[in-house]
Structure 1
Amino acid sequence: MRKKYKSGFVSIIGRPNVGKSTLLNNLLGEKVSIISNKPNTTRTNINGVKTGANYQIIFIDTPGIHDAKDKINRLMVQNAIDSLGMVDIVYLMVEPDEFIGKEMLFILNLLKEYKGVKYLLVNKVDKFTKSKALKVANKIFSYTEFKYVLPISALKGINIDKLVELTVTDLPEGDKIFDDDYITNVPEKLLIAEFVREQVFKILKEEVPYDTVVECELVEDRSEDLLYAACSIILSKESQKPIVIGKQGRTIKEIGKRSRENLEKFFGVKVFLDLWVKVVNNWQDKDEYLKIQGIL
């Protein structure tokens, strides 16, 4: 007897920097969400699609839920909260040494109201003892219940196949929503900009604040196997500009080189990448720059 087809939506939520984007990339086998150890690297809800023989899962990688102060962060948090209203399953990601403070209590109170299926994923179990993971799970269960508690490592792939198997079981029956080869709904320009922003963070680390934004101003196919993209790295202070450019342009060349390599792996064609640096004071409060990132 042929298995019935399953399809549905899964939201990945948690505090900043717990590994949500790493998990999404591992689940898909493709990089669609950028990874950095800076908090709030993911600024908008990024959809990734995983299609199997009898299922299709649409994952939503949300920005970390935190105590937001400025406009950009408040919008990011609201995006994450809004995702709960449209999904069949929620993964709450925590770490074994998770602190149950103000931010986590806010998330747990949201989940008390959520009517769908809830999974508690204890990430980074490759770095902690099983007893520590069990301890944090017991703590969180005292606030709200979950159907499954699963220790995972988003980075090492531990229990990821099991997570997919359980998720498919809990999905509702439904038709395929996207074509088999569809991976993400992120617009091409935004995806290219995010690949560049990831390298800005990785190369410059603490030298440039996490609120740096990248705008892909132009992308076009120059031939069947050559993609051209022009991107601006937008900073909020003039003093940051020489840091990003580097001595004799070395830093921005390295950002471009690493970004291009990752883009070529993703798109499967040669990429010609032009990078520029701009300074826009207080861009975080300007709607046009929030729209660039898909936040508005």
Structure 2
Amino acid sequence: MSTFKSGFVSIMGRPNVGKSTLLNAMLGEKIAIVSNKPQTTRINVQGILNRPDSQIVFIDTPGYHSARDSINKMMVQQAVDSVEMVDIILLMVQPDEKKDGREFKNLVEILKGVNCKVFLLINKVDNYSKEDTFKAAEKFFPELDFAEVVPLSALRDKNVDTLVELIEKHLPEGEQMFDREEITTLPEKLLISEYIREQVFERLREEIPYNVMVETEKVEDVSEDRMEISASIIVNRESHKGMVIGKQGSMLKEIGTSARKNLEHFFGVKIHLQLWVKVRGDWQSNSEYLRIQGLSE
């Protein structure tokens, strides 16, 4: 009789290294939003991978960076807090990352004090030569007592299955923690908000995406194959409102169309999505808005 294993696995690293892409690749389902801008992930996203002999709960953390404002400090603290509750930590780097950078050195110092196993993941190897990848392994390996070193490409799904097998190998014996039909612990409204916010990151430039939050106001199952969703994109300046809406509503329409298609794929039903844009100059210091985003209790 095979032994059942279960546990929590945290994915950590600097911004834009590919953590959310890896989570989605391991789950075979998109639950973490992805963009080419750093600091897209604001909260610890939990994804659940159910296998015949194991249940692995992944935590996709915000990128570890030198935070200056309050919301970014909360994001970094979420990443740090995740190390207290996990069985395995996946430290993700890319071959050209510098090991003597301040942010990476601070992250290594945090991980030196953990009581769990740490894997070194060298991501984006499809963009580098084998020699570069080997040199990266030599460079980073002495930094910590790594249980495994895995070169991979989360985007190209290279060595992702190998990584999952290694994670299962190192997990402790344990019971199933969540229903096998579940793939995420994110509340439905927060998941919808994240899908919409992803499209804001994809389409708007400079500082605007970092000053935007999304509040899902209504989710209604009107039939077995149709949902109605209403949500507000909240900005902190009147000038940003016009940019989000776009000329004759063109930008808002693009955001809504792409978000709707992704949500229909995830939920497997037709969706009617209504989007509004509101100005709330103090949202980043408003505890209620931070709670809506999962950044405070």
Category of TM-score, reference length = shorter chain: over 0.9
Code of the residue aligned with 2:185 in structure 1: it is: N
Residues 55-70 of structure 1 correspond to what in structure 2 (within 5 A)? 55-70=54-69
Residues 169-188 of structure 1 correspond to what in structure 2 (within 5 A)? 169-188=169-188
Change (3 A) 1:207 1:89: closer
1:256, distance to aligned residue in structure 2 (A): 0.6
SS in 2 for 1:206: coil
Structure 1 runs of 4+ with >6 Å offset: none
Distance in 1 between the 2:150 and 2:88 partners?
A: 14
Code of the residue aligned with 2:41 in structure 1: it is: T
1:129, distance to aligned residue in structure 2 (A): 1.2
Q: Where does residue 136 of structure 1 map in the other structure?
A: 136
Q: Where does residue 212 of structure 1 map in the other structure?
A: 212
CA contact (8 A) 2:200 2:209 kept: no
Code of the residue aligned with 1:17 in structure 2: it is: N
1:45, distance to aligned residue in structure 2 (A): 0.6
CA contact (8 A) 1:207 1:243 kept: no
Distance in 1 between the 2:290 and 2:231 partners?
A: 16
Code of the residue aligned with 2:22 in structure 1: it is: L
1:12, distance to aligned residue in structure 2 (A): 0.2
1:213, distance to aligned residue in structure 2 (A): 0.8
Q: Deviations over 1:217-267 (max 9, x none)?
A: 111111121111111111111111111111111111111111000000000
Code of the residue aligned with 1:59 in structure 2: it is: F
Q: Does 1:41 pair with 2:40?
A: yes
Structure 1: stretches of 5+ with no match in the other structure: none
Q: Where does residue 12 of structure 1 map in the other structure?
A: 11
1:207, distance to aligned residue in structure 2 (A): 6.8
Distance in 2 between the 1:136 and 1:177 partners?
A: 36
Structure 2: stretches of 5+ with no match in the other structure: none
Distance in 2 between the 1:207 and 1:60 partners?
A: 27
1:209, distance to aligned residue in structure 2 (A): 3.4
Residues 221-236 of structure 1 correspond to what in structure 2 (within 5 A)? 221-236=221-236
Distance in 2 between the 1:185 and 1:209 partners?
A: 25
Distance in 1 between the 2:206 and 2:35 partners?
A: 11
Q: Where does residue 265 of structure 2 map in the other structure?
A: 265
SS in 1 for 2:63: coil
TM-score (norm 1): 0.97
% same residue: 55
Q: Where does residue 202 of structure 1 map in the other structure?
A: 202
Code of the residue aligned with 1:237 in structure 2: it is: R
Number of aligned residue pairs: 295
1:63, distance to aligned residue in structure 2 (A): 0.5
Q: Where does residue 288 of structure 2 map in the other structure?
A: 288
CA contact (8 A) 2:120 2:141 kept: no
1:46, distance to aligned residue in structure 2 (A): 0.6
Residues 101-180 of structure 1 correspond to what in structure 2 (within 5 A)? 101-180=101-180
CA contact (8 A) 1:38 1:210 kept: no
Between 1:217-226 and 1:183-192, the stretch displaced more is 217-226
Distance in 2 between the 1:198 and 1:206 partners?
A: 15
Q: Where does residue 53 of structure 2 map in the other structure?
A: 54
Q: Where does residue 27 of structure 1 map in the other structure?
A: 26
Alignment RMSD, CA only?
1.1
CA contact (8 A) 2:88 2:119 kept: yes
CA contact (8 A) 2:26 2:49 kept: yes
Q: Deviations over 1:78-128 (max 9, x none)?
A: 111111011000000001111220100011011111121110000000111
Code of the residue aligned with 1:188 in structure 2: it is: E
CA contact (8 A) 1:32 1:191 kept: yes
Distance in 2 between the 1:204 and 1:66 partners?
A: 22
Distance in 2 between the 1:150 and 1:142 partners?
A: 15
Distance in 2 between the 1:32 and 1:252 partners?
A: 22
TM-score (norm 2): 0.97
CA contact (8 A) 1:15 1:66 kept: yes
Distance in 2 between the 1:19 and 1:85 partners?
A: 22
Distance in 2 between the 1:130 and 1:215 partners?
A: 45
Distance in 2 between the 1:162 and 1:211 partners?
A: 38
Distance in 2 between the 1:250 and 1:278 partners?
A: 17
Code of the residue aligned with 1:29 in structure 2: it is: G
